[in-house]
Structure 1
Amino acid sequence: MARGRPSKKAHIIDAACGLFTKQGYQSTSIDQVVLTAAVSKPTVYSNFPTKLVLWENVVESLIERAKEDMDAALTSLQSGLKTTDDEALVAGWIMLWQAWVAKQERLAVYRVLLGEQHKMAESTVALFDQFEAVLESVLTKWLEAFNVTLMAFFALKAISKEALLMPALLHQESMSSKKLIQQLNALIKNNKIR
């Protein structure tokens, strides 16, 4: 491999990631990956014997990228944390969720798994669990400074999924930040979750 150039395997994964993100799993063919990556079909098949294997490699790549992105977002939030009051908790929580749903390739993982789960192997479902664990880990680390109960974590997560993730997946407008802040603050105050 030449210095400074990505491997063909990584190049194919990047090309496939773009196609899966735009078109989904079912609508993406190996022929399209070959054209987009500008490699031969035997090159693709020598690295990825099936489209499912290629998809799983894309998800593994996205897990690594998500870890880097979300760890950086968390580090930035933690370094700027001046107080551990409810406002800081909610503001940071929302920023982490917004960072998560801002990446179209992450949303594509949800769409593929939720929409085409019947075509996926157990190994793919296990990768999805690892993918979601990246978000859960970062959210858990954020809440450590605030002494939030496990039950509260699940309640905050449920509201955030409904307010931010689902609208992003469905190409709908998400709940306004003001309304989401009000709902999360109400949950914290009314349920004494800390």
Structure 2
Amino acid sequence: MARGRPSKKSHIVEAACELFTKQGYQSTSIDQVVLTAAVSKPTVYSNFPTKLVLWETALSALTERAQEEMEQALSSQNTTADSDFVAGWIALWSEWIGKPERLASYRILLGEQHKMAPSTFALFAEFEAVLESTLLAWMTVFSVPNERFFILKAVSKEALLTPALMNQTITGKDELRAQLETLSY
């Protein structure tokens, strides 16, 4: 019986991830997770005593998945012969914001801060560290000074992440490229 628990637990987390992505934290109930995962309520509560614990577990799973995906994206950028720094930088950001579950994670943390525990903020810092470590690794490939990281990240966040979170038009690649080229060297 104990052998089935990890897969059942991960199944519950996957169901919760889907619901949190589609509905957010506030609108997702344990009852919905029970229905989506097709498990009993006691099964959910025996693994996750509160919705916050379930969300934190889901955020950890999303962070692990993001780490794998961003490592793959970085690797594919590194193997592209005609890649330049700015094109790769934009591609890595596009990969990051291209996943609805990542955008949902930002929305949940920003919109539900008052319901989160200090441990949630620590997990979110780990989540964001995936993007930052990927971007820093990309900068290293092109010998872009680390002192440029903050400004490059800030411009990219304003041009790409913020509009994506607000369902607004993202800054055009040519316009963003022009801005980043002046800042990267």
Q: Same fold (TM over 0.5)?
A: yes
Deviation at 1:82, TM superposition (A): 5.2
Task: State the identity %.
Answer: 64
Match of 1:130 among 126, 129, 133: 126
2:171 equivalent in structure 1: 175
Paired residues for 1:6-155 under 5 Å:
7-81=7-81, 88-155=84-151
The superposition leaves residues 67-111 of structure 1 with CA deviations (integer Å, 9 ceiling, x where unpaired) of 00000000011112457xxxx010000000000000000011100
Q: Give TM-score scaled by structure 2 length.
A: 0.95
Deviation at 1:122, TM superposition (A): 0.5
Amino acid at match of 1:41: K
In angstroms, what is the RMSD of aligned CA positions? 1.9
Mean Cα displacement is larger for which, 40-49 or 140-149?
140-149
Deviation at 1:52, TM superposition (A): 0.3
Amino acid at match of 2:73: A
- Stretches (4+) displaced over 4 A: none
Alpha-carbon separation, structure 1, partners of 2:90 and 2:21: 24
Alpha-carbon separation, structure 1, partners of 2:129 and 2:162: 18
Mean Cα displacement is larger for which, 129-138 or 72-81?
72-81
Q: Give TM-score scaled by structure 1 length.
A: 0.90
Alpha-carbon separation, structure 2, partners of 1:98 and 1:141: 16
